[in-house]
Amino acid sequence: MADKVRLGIIGLGAQGGLYARLISDGKVPNMVIGAIVDHDPAKRELAASTYPGVPVYEDFESVLDSGDVDAVVTTVPHYLHPEMGIAALSRGIHPLVEKPAGVYTKQVKELNEYAATKPELTFGIMFNQRNNPLYQRIKEIVEAGEIGKIRRTNWIITTWWRPQGYYEQSDWRATWGGEGGGVLVNQVPHQLDLLQWIAGVPKSVFAKVAYGFRRNIATEDEVTVVVDYGEGATGVLVTATHDLIGTDRFEILGDSGKIVVEGSKTAYVTRLSKTEQEISDSIGPDDVKKMFMGEMNLDSYQETETIEYDRPWGQQHAGVLENFAANILDGTPLLAPGSEGINGVRLANAIHLSSWLGEEVPLDLDEDRYLDELNKRIRDEGKFAERS
């Protein structure tokens, strides 16, 4: 293979346009635009005039057999990611699926199972926030056991503000049949991924979800979730697309430390010199009395480090593209393996299902039941075909 991966960009919308620009601006040194695909003639014209010399296709299937691309990125509505991923793999093309990996776990499982039969191909997912050096550092700290075993997480992520006009940009946006959900499938998949990447996969969730609550949409615009990781570890996640002024505050409490990330930008990492349990056990009756006299000082047990990185806009996406291409070219480990996309989809499905049933739902959920409930909503909406 040549020293650069030729990427087919499937869909020249906001994301596809961003990736095309990053590559043509040289921000992804090991990648070139191999082709651009869009079913909209206006978008194809735009592609031809903006990127002269780049082959332009109307149809996804034909680019796969064109010989113009080594890989594709699927910047199309979420429902299509699994089937396009499978189609690419079946033609020997490396797929980078846009997040989320799909809308429901059943379809994502099919993609993962098929991808497992093609180990020679690179299967990635665009979790650009995994390329935020702050979250990478936090994952390292947690994995190294520097704050001990995780006890609790709490993420308020309500900076996903979207005005009504945003939802009116396209027909499929925030519909059941076209998009498959609202904030859970569009905005917050980043955090659903980071949360599980850093803190692990939960066992169950209980969710309160509001549908078309403060926006004129069919799907969810506000979500409150209680997460159970098992062994007593719990978490809370709150998200919404209608909060002014939104909050982005992620707290991770461990047995021997705590991390607070403010605005996905600054992290305060407190490390304890002993575990909380050891400190508790070391405090005798006299110390308890002192504590209530305000005379006990826990400061000697702790030290707090502040971590901050610059985070240029676009670098995250360019980094994922570059890492994906590097895996194809020389086997550099993938930052975001495609098979991990299912975690976010499963968590989103469980949150929906919990809210629909009004009860706590295991992450190991009944996939057919989820699909039935989803299809009910697609039927009621009456705009798109049901899914299978």
Binding site for its own copies (CB under 8 A): 14, 151-152, 154, 156, 158, 161, 163-166, 168-169, 206, 208, 210, 213-215, 222, 224, 226, 228, 232, 234, 236, 238, 240, 242-245, 247, 249, 251, 253, 258, 260, 270, 272, 276-277, 279-281, 283-285, 287-288, 291-292, 294, 298, 301-302, 313, 358-360
Minimum distance from residue 83 beta carbon to its own copies (Å)? 27
- Cβ proximity to its own copies: between 62 and 164 the closer is 164
Q: How many CB atoms lie within 10 A of CB 231?
A: 9
> Tokens 């699909």 appear where?
371
Query: What's the min distance (Å) between Cβ of 345 and its own copies?
Result: 23
Shortest Å, Cβ 186 to its own copies: 13
By beta-carbon proximity to its own copies, the closer residue of 50 and 375 is 50
One-letter amino acid for residue 195 of the chain: L
Q: Between 48 and 238, whose beta carbon lies closer to its own copies?
A: 238
Of 42 and 244, nearer to its own copies (C-beta) is: 244
Shortest distance in whole angstroms from residue 154 CB to its own copies: 6
Q: How far is the CB of 336 from its own copies (least distance, A)?
A: 22
Nearest-CA neighbor of 200 among 226, 239, 230?
230
Nearer to its own copies, 71 or 223 (CB): 223
Shortest approach of its own copies to residue 23 CB, angstroms?
A: 19
Q: Which CB, 113 or 168, lies closer to its own copies? A: 168
Residue 6 or 151: which CB sits closer to its own copies? 151
3-state SS string for the chain? CCCCEEEEEECCCHHHHHHHHHHHCCCCCCEEEEEEECCCHHHHHHHHHHCCCCCEECCHHHHHCCCCCCEEEECCCCCHHHHHHHHHHHCCCEEEECCCCCCCHHHHHHHHHHHHCCCCCCCEECCHHHHCHHHHHHHHHHHCCCCCCEEEEEEEECCCCCCHHHHCCCCCCCCCCCCCCCCCCCCCHHHHHHHHHHHCCCCEEEEEEEECCCCCCCCEEEEEEEEEEECCEEEEEEEECCCCCCCEEEEEEECCEEEEEECCCEEEEEEECCCHHHHHHCCCHHHHHHHHCCCCCCHHHEEEEEEECCCCCCHHHHHHHHHHHHHHHHCCCCCCEHHHHHHHHHHHHHHHHHHHHCCCEECCCCHHHHHHHHHHHHHHHCCCCCCC
CB of 277 to its own copies, least distance (A): 7
| Assigned token pair, 150 | 């995780």
Q: Which is nearer to its own copies, 331 or 358 (CB)?
A: 358
In this complex, which beta carbon is closest to its own copies, that of residue 76 or of residue 334? Answer: 76
Beta pairing partners, 41: none
Left, alpha or beta for 174 (phi > 0: left; psi -120 to 50: alpha)?
left
165/331 with CB nearer its own copies: 165
Angle at alpha carbon of residue 106, lines to 215 and 240, rounded to 5°: 20
Query: At a CB cut-off of 8 Å and minimum separation 6, what does 366 contact?
Result: none
Q: Minimum distance from CB of 123 to its own copies (Å)?
A: 28
How near is the Cβ of 4 to its own copies at its closest, in Å?
28
CB of 39 to its own copies, least distance (A): 21
